[in-house]
Amino acid sequence: MDNIGIKEAILAVITLNEHQPASGVPVFYAKDERERDKIALYLSKILSAMVHDLENGTYIIVRH
């Protein structure tokens, strides 16, 4: 199972959408795009994970 299998996990959600409910996964609300990018960078470095853009104002941090 070294090379294949489901090991991805969403570690955090960073969003501009304040109606995004928090459930199960930590959600970080950002007030603008700059803050969102900054939180995403910090979290990805802290968690050694990757930032993915869902292109609806929401980023997710995923461990691969």
Shortest spacing between CB 60 and other proteins, in angstroms: 8
Residues 4-63 that bind other proteins (CB under 8 A): 4, 37, 40-41, 44-45, 48-53, 55, 59-60
SS3 annotation, the chain: CCCCCCCCEEEEEEECCCCCCCECECEEECCCHHHHHHHHHHHHHHHCCEEEECCCCEEEEEEC
Closer CB to other proteins, 3 or 23, in the complex:
3
Residue ranges binding other proteins (CB under 8 A): 2-4, 37, 40-41, 44-45, 48-53, 55, 59-60, 64
